C-alpha cells in the first residue's frame, strides 16, 4: 500500500510523522527499509474488493503467521478459517456493528490453545502443575503474536486486514459456532482481503508517553494526552460521539473522552467466567 513514486525512507518519514507527530530520520540505505516502510504505514482496512484470496496464498500466509515466536516453544495458538457462510452470518448477528465481516473474502479467528499441551502431558504420563493465570496468558499472547505476524505477511502480499476483538462481545455465541472445546478460547477475529479503499494512518500516542527508560514515568501524562487529543482531532476527528444518552455531547471530543466513555460502562464482563468454564482457573 506504499506509494510507488515514494522511496521507502520517505514513506517511513511521512507515515510516522502522521502517526506520532514527530520527525524520524531514516537513511535511504537502512537495512530492511522496505519492510519498515510497510510496518510504519500500516492501515486497518474495512472495505474489500470482491477478488478472492487464492488458497495457495492463504496457506502461505498462515504458515508465515505460525512462524512467529512462541513462549517456550509451546505453540499455543490456533487459527480457524471460517468458510461456512451460515457460521459467519450467525457470528455477525451477535455483533451487528461489525457487518464488514460479511464482506471480507477471508475471515479468520485466532485462538489461544492450552488444551494441546495438557493432552501431551497426559500422553507422556506427566502432571499439569501450572494451573494459574500465567498459563492462560501464555496462550493468549501466543495467539496475539501469531495474528500480528499474519497481518504483516498479508500486507506484504498486498492485502488489507481488520482485527475484530468484538467476537468476545458475544463470547458464548462465538465459542458455540466455532465448537471450541475446553482449553481453547478465541482472542480475536481478522478480516482479510484486497483493499477497496486505501484506509488511513491512525495517529498514536507519542513515544514520550509509551516508551520509558529505566523506570515507568507518567509525570507529564495529562499534558501529553491533551496534546495527543488535539493532534488526533486535527488529523482524524471522530465522526460521532459515543454514548451521548449517558454523557451528553462534548464541545470538544477527543481520544481521551471517547475512551473514558467506552470504559465507563461494562464491556465483556462475562469473559472471565467464560474462560473459567473453558478450564482456566486464573489463580
Residue 6: the pLDDT is 86
Q: Which residues pair with 44 in a beta bridge?
A: 161
> CATH for 55-199, among 3.90.600.10, 3.40.109.10, 3.40.50.970, 1.20.1090.10?
3.40.109.10
**Grid coordinates of 45:** 482496512
> Backbone phi, then psi, for 203, in 5-degree steps?
-60, 145
239-267 average pLDDT score: 96
The C-alpha atoms of residue 106 and residue 85 are separated, in whole angstroms, by 11
Pull the grid cell for residue 81. 478459517
Contact (Cβ atoms closer than 8 angstroms) between residue 277 and residue 183: no
Contact in structure between 255 and 153 (CB atoms under 8 Å): no
What Cα–Cα distance (Å) separates residue 179 from each residue in 35, 176, 182?
Answer: 37, 5, 10
Q: Which helix (H) or strand (E) holds 32?
A: none
Distance, CA of 171 to CA of 174 (rounded, Å): 5
Instruction: Please tell me the predicted confidence (pLDDT) of residue 225.
Output: 98
What pLDDT is stored for residue 63 in this prediction? 98
Is 1 a residue whose pLDDT tops 70?
no
Question: What mean pLDDT comes out for the span 218-229?
Answer: 97
Q: Is the dihedral of CA 66, 71, 75, 81 positive or negative?
A: negative
Average pLDDT, the chain: 95
What are the pLDDT digits (tens) for 53-71? 999 999 999 999 999 999 9
Q: Is residue 164 helix, strand or coil?
A: strand
What is the pLDDT, as a whole number, of residue 239?
A: 94
Q: Which residue has the cell 512462524?
A: 67
Per residue in 20-63, pLDDT (tens digit) is 999 999 999 999 999 999 999 999 999 999 999 999 999 999 99
Q: What share of the chain is helix, strand, coil (3-state, %, to 5)?
A: 50, 10, 40
**φ, ψ at 232 (rounded to 5°):** -65, -40
* pLDDT tens digits, 77-113: 999 999 999 999 999 999 988 888 999 999 999 999 9
Q: What are phi and psi of 185, to 5 degrees?
A: -145, 145
Residues paired with 107 in a beta bridge: 191
Ranges for all domains in the chain classified under CATH 3.40.109.10 = 55-199
Residue 171 and residue 186 in contact, taking contact as beta carbons nearer than 8 Å = yes
d(CA 156, CA 154): 5
Check: CB of residue 112 under 8 Å from CB of residue 77: yes
Amino acid at each position: 500500500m506504499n506509494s510507488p513514486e515514494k522511496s521507502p525512507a520517505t514513506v517511513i518519514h511521512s507515515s510516522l510523522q502522521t502517526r506520532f507527530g514527530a520527525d524520524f530520520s531514516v537513511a535511504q540505505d537502512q537495512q530492511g527499509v522496505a519492510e519498515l516502510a510497510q510496518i510504519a504505514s500500516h492501515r486497518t482496512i474495512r472495505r474489500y474488493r470482491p477478488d478472492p484470496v487464492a488458497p495457495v496464498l492463504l496457506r502461505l500466509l498462515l504458515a508465515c503467521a505460525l512462524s512467529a515466536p512462541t513462549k517456550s516453544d509451546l505453540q499455543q495458538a490456533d487459527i480457524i478459517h471460517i468458510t461456512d457462510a451460515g457460521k459467519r452470518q450467525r457470528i455477525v448477528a451477535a455483533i451487528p456493528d461489525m457487518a464488514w465481516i460479511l464482506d471480507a473474502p477471508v475471515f479468520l479467528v485466532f485462538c489461544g490453545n492450552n488444551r494441546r499441551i495438557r493432552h501431551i502431558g497426559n500422553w507422556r504420563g506427566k502432571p499439569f502443575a501450572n494451573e494459574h493465570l500465567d498459563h492462560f496468558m501464555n496462550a493468549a499472547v501466543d495467539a496475539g503474536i501469531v495474528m500480528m505476524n499474519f497481518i504483516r505477511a498479508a500486507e506484504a502480499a498486498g492485502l488489507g486486514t481488520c482485527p475484530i476483538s468484538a467476537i468476545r462481545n458475544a463470547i458464548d455465541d462465538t465459542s458455540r459456532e466455532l465448537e471450541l472445546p475446553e482449553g481453547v478460547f478465541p482472542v480475536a477475529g481478522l478480516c482479510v482481503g484486497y483493499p477497496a479503499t486505501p484506509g488511513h494512518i491512525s495517529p498514536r500516542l507519542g513515544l514520550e508517553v509509551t516508551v520509558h527508560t529505566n523506570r515507568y514515568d507518567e509525570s507529564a501524562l495529562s499534558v501529553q494526552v491533551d496534546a495527543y487529543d488535539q493532534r488526533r482531532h486535527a488529523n482524524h476527528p471522530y465522526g460521532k460521539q459515543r454514548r451521548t444518552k449517558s454523557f451528553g455531547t462534548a464541545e470538544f471530543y477527543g481520544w481521551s473522552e471517547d475512551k473514558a466513555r467506552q470504559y465507563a460502562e461494562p464491556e465483556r464482563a462475562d469473559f472471565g467466567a467464560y474462560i473459567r468454564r473453558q478450564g482456566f482457573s486464573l489463580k
